[in-house]
Amino acid sequence: MSIADFLVIATFTAPQTIQTNPALMLWMLPLAASMAITYKATKLPTITPANFIKEAAILFASIVIIITIIALALYALMWLITE
């Protein structure tokens, strides 16, 4: 096994360091993109690059906007209860 192989394997055997801060929420973006792309890959009748990118982008934006609205609503509810 070469040093490069060892380093590649080593990156998967130790967890990364992730701090608790607002930027933590950004981890949802790659996951939302993955969901939008996979869902559209299975649902579109024909796949052309322009149409696929447009449809996936719309779904990705919808997921992010809806999650943001729900988060804001829950934050407002929490504020009403605690203040």
Distances in Å between the alpha carbon of 20 and those of 24, 26, 55, 68, 79? 6, 12, 33, 19, 21
Residue 49 C-beta: closest distance to other proteins, Å: 9
Closer CB to other proteins, residue 2 or residue 16? 16
State the minimum distance, in angstroms, from the CB of residue 74 to other proteins. 18
Q: Which residues bind other proteins (CB under 8 A)?
A: 11-20, 24, 27, 30-31, 34-35, 37-39, 41-42, 47, 52
Q: How far apart are CA 44 and CA 36, in angstroms?
A: 12
Closer residue to other proteins, CB minimum distance, 2 or 11: 11
CB closer to other proteins, 38 vs 77: 38
Q: Which of 24, 33, 78, 83 is nearest to 59 (CA)?
A: 33
